[in-house]
Structure 1
Amino acid sequence: MTTRPDLLSLSIACPPPDEGSVEVRPIVNGRDLLAEVVPGGVGGSRYLGVGPRALLGQDGPLHATATPHEVRLAWSGCGVEECCGALYMTVTRNGDHVVWAGWRDLANQDFDLPELRFTAGQYEAEVLRAGEDRSWEWPAGAVARLLEAGLRGRGDWLVRWDCELEGVWASRKEPDRIHVVLRHPRNRADADLPWLQFGMTLPISADAPSDQAERLEARLTAGDPRATAEVWGGSHDAEQLGYPWPPVDPLFM
């Protein structure tokens, strides 16, 4: 008897800012996959889906290729995977099908789920549809996404100042600002060498997100970002790099 392929739908849950974060909920054969399984860790009773910015999009990890790659679908509790758990699977394009297999959770060594097999056409169409859905995105989130994409395309700027971009972050609880985070030095071959985390908080206006992202990119790449950023973190011996220490806590700025 031929087994019918599984059917995937990606639902984006967007609760009020004070009630939770935006998350992608995989719906398989009409059932919420994350609601069907319980984390193995000690810090949470349910899985929370990874956000759409990290999971979806043109280069998002849910896109399947013939080369298997692992995808983090969910997390739980405090977010530290070893104690509270996180749900991973491996996605592979296998001919006319896309396969989810190799399930694991670091907080539960006995964790396992059955293999899921989707029709490739239906699967990719759904991933593309969900990636194009921006109804959940707030203006500062759009600026952060566009600015990060622009800065990642400016590898020359990062190399010149010996930095790598950790990310550009936005929170729905702070709709008037975004945070740019850099690490220095870049490409550390020796993990024992000192390193610094630089951060800067940038105000967001009511202008179009694309216009703001373009202006901010031009401003940031005009010079050395370390000259205007603050030290937000680093290794225990980071003061050897010659910047103010101890770091500033951005939560208390």
Structure 2
Amino acid sequence: METLRRNARSGDPVEARRAAWVIAESAKGGVPEGRFVIRVVVPDPHPVGFPVVEARIVIDGMPVVANAFDKGPAGSPDQLVHSGQLRATSDPQEVRLAEAYCTEGCCGALYVTITREGPEVIWKTWRSLLPGDHSLETRFDAAEYDREITRAEQDHSWEWPARTVARLVAEQFRADPAILGRWNCRPGWCTAWMRDFDTARLTFGYPARRTPFDEPSVQFGLVVDVRDRDPVATAAEIVESIREADPKTTAEIIGGTQDGAEKLGLAYRKPSRW
């Protein structure tokens, strides 16, 4: 452990964050106990391949996706937790818990239907393209289930700085549509990739209204360097810069065609960081 702590203070950023990751993961212990638990798992932060963050569901100590689906990882926290999809209502909702590495259309996905009946939340009608699909019902105390969902929604301790920046910017865009709306733009997605650890990425579409297929529209993207910067201050700077100046003048066009861009009066430049 002392070696890991020393490596976590290394001047090599990759070595330092990998050592810090091992220390943090070791502190979490093994499989969490509890009837229903959500654990966000961040993989080894080494910039190789395309590692993904997973929101792993554990029921009675058993990781659901690992037990029932061997074709791909659990869904991301953005998809499962922060989207509200795991929240249970009286209207049954089918939720995709995992998708195959290659895509659902190729090797399938794992689905479950979630509903609320009085004091209980029920997971039922499990579905995938793998052998052994079943309709086994799993029941949870609704109050305990809701507390775990709320805890997971509020827990951002797993984030790294670039991911925090992306989340904070996305929250501001949702809270105030005028930030981009004043430039006739609409928000896209905001995220950070582990393979590009020190950058946050955000996208937006132009024009703001969704156009018919045969009318021109483009997608813009911004890449923000986050290394050695305070995430909260960085997110605030990004939002303020977009309030003050048209982001179309600095962002790169990453979606749409050159012809479409020119019809919209935009100067097309081939993207360099996407």
| Aligned equivalent of 2:44 | 16
Give TM-score, length-normalised by structure 2: 0.75
2:107 aligned with 1:84: yes
Change (3 A) 1:95 1:248: same
* Distance 1:182-1:67 versus aligned 2 partners, 3 A rule: same
1:93 to 116, 120, 130: 116
Write 1 or 2 for the structure with the bigger share of helix: 2
Structure 2: tracts of 5 or more residues without a match: 1-33
Is 2:56 the partner of 1:34? no
CA contact (8 A) 1:194 1:236 kept: no
CA distance in structure 2 between the partners assigned to 1:183 and 1:111 by the alignment? 40
User: Retained in 2: the 8 A contact 1:233–1:247?
Assistant: no
Q: Quick check: 169-178 or 127-136, which moved more?
A: 127-136
Q: What is aligned with 1:42?
A: none
- Quickly say closer, same or farther: Cα 1:143–1:197, change in 2 above 3 A: same
Letter in 1 for 2:226: I
Which residue of 92, 98, 101 corresponds with 1:68? 92
Q: Could you tell me whether the CA contact under 8 Å between 2:98 and 2:109 is conserved in 1? A: yes
Inter-partner Cα distance in structure 2 for 1:35 and 1:60: 22
Aligned residues of 2:180 and 2:187 also touching (Cα < 8 A): yes
Which residue does 1:41 correspond to in 2?
none
* 1:149 is aligned to 2:171: yes
Runs of 4+ in 1 over 4 A off after TM superposition: 107-113
1:55 aligns with 2:80: yes
Judging changes above 3 Å, is the alpha-carbon distance between structure 1 residues 218 and 96 closer, same or farther for their aligned structure 2 residues?
A: same
Q: Is this contact kept in 1: 2:252–2:269, CA < 8 A?
A: no
Alpha-carbon contact 1:17-1:173 (below 8 Å) kept: yes
CA contact (8 A) 2:71 2:107 kept: no
For this pair of structures, how many residues does the alignment match?
Answer: 237
- TM-aligned CA distance change 1:86 to 1:250, over 3 Å: farther
Give the TM-score, by structure 1 length: 0.81
Matched letter for residue 81 of structure 1: E
Identity of aligned residues (%): 34
* Unmatched segments (≥5 aa) in structure 1: 1-5, 39-44
Is the 1:182–1:198 contact (alpha carbons within 8 Å) kept by the matching residues of 2? yes
SS at match of 1:250: coil
1:176-209 CA deviation, whole Å, 9 max, x = no partner?
2111111222342523332211101112143432
